[in-house]
């Protein structure tokens, strides 16, 4: 997997919205953060645009993103927020110039569309917090983003969850938001997971839908040759009046029970204040013991 060039002081980062609308004041803390790191910032036209829920029309969001893709002075594109909408523009984007001059793509949630699409082009991306979240993020999350962008070594060690499945493995890290992975199945943006380590997270879903999405991934072979599973925040899950009978962790364990790869729960990434940066497309070492979990990039 090709790695975009690490950032240096005075490099330029673009902030755009590929999905839901967002205002300039909402991203101001992120602008100040980047400047404090010695970086320059270009704000896309989609910041402040409105088309119902979206940050402008599909055509406007496509044009804004394409301009940043093609601009060789832009060294990273930081998606301002998620929501919904990136999938509406992905097939309109031309990655010809990006492939000649790759840059870091940063975001999570709805930005899973870009992570997966760019993974299939053969490039690494950065699953990390977004400008909308900067004010509420913990320092550990923001520091992990900075270290990842500037090429400092990153590794994580967290306490074990009792539901974990122990083991040691290595593989290229892929994945993202579960709902988005599910929605991309059957398209050219859907990823292959053979020999890889899969990360998943989600927000605001009903438990039966978590089960349905995972069953579909399973039926599509997502787990057949997987090397490991890392589960981030499964945040604000819902149940029906008649309970589903399992929480998110038990649903996951039930669906992958026939497989032998290590499983990590409660990894600090996703819709969380402590949303640690993960480099997708890079080989990682995953070790899950009874006491702790470690991930080394």
Active site residue 109: yes
| Selected catalytic residue, list 17, 205, 271, 287 | 271
List 17, 201, 205, 287, catalytic entry: 201
Can you spell out the DSSP letters for 48-116?
T--BTTBSS-HHHHHHHHHHHHH-TTEEEEEE---SS-GGGTGGG---HHHHHS--EEEE-GGGHHHHH
Give dist(CA 281, CA 24) in Å, integer. 31
* 70/86 Cα distance (integer angstroms): 18
Spatial separation of the C-alpha atoms in residues 88 and 273, rounded to whole Å: 28
| Nearest by Cα to 205 from 237, 161, 177 | 237
> Could you say which of 17, 109, 148, 179 is catalytic?
109
Tokens of 49: 């645009």
Instruction: Give me the phi and psi of 66, to 5 degrees please.
Output: -60, -40
Nearest CA-CA partner of 116 in 196, 211, 7: 196
Q: Distances from the Cα of 34 to the Cαs of 12, 111, 136, 146, in angstroms?
A: 9, 20, 16, 9
Is 201 a known active-site residue? yes
- Tell me which residues are annotated as active site: 109, 201, 271
């Amino acid at each position: 997997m090709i790695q975009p060039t690490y950032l240096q002081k005075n490099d330029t980062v673009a902030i755009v919205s590929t999905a839901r609308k967002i205002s300039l004041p909402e991203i101001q803390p992120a602008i100040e953060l980047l400047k404090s790191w010695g970086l320059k910032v270009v704000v896309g036209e989609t910041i402040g645009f409105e088309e119902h829920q979206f940050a402008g029309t599909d055509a406007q969001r496509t044009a804004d993103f394409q301009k940043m893709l093609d601009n060789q002075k832009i060294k990273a594109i930081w998606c301002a927020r998620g929501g919904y909408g990136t999938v509406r523009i992905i097939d309109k984007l031309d990655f010809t110039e990006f492939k000649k001059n790759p840059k870091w793509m940063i975001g999570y949630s709805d930005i899973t569309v870009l992570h997966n699409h760019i993974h299939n082009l053969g490039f690494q991306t950065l699953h990390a917090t977004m400008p909308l979240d900067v004010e509420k993020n913990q320092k550990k999350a923001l520091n992990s983003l900075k270290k990842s962008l500037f090429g400092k070594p990153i590794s994580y060690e967290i306490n074990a969850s009792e539901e974990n499945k122990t083991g040691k493995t290595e593989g290229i890290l892929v994945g993202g938001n579960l709902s988005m992975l599910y929605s991309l199945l059957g398209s050219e943006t859907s990823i292959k997971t053979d020999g890889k380590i899969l990360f998943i997270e989600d927000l605001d879903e009903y438990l039966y839908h978590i089960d349905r999405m995972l069953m579909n991934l399973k039926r599509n072979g997502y787990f057949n040759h997987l090397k490991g599973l890392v589960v981030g925040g499964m945040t604000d899950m819902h149940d029906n009046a008649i309970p589903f009978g399992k929480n998110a962790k038990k649903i996951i364990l039930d669906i992958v029970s026939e497989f032998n790869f290590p499983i990590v729960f409660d990894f600090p990434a996703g819709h969380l204040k402590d949303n640690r940066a993960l480099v997708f497309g890079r080989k990682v070492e995953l070790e899950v013991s009874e006491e702790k979990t470690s991930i080394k990039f």
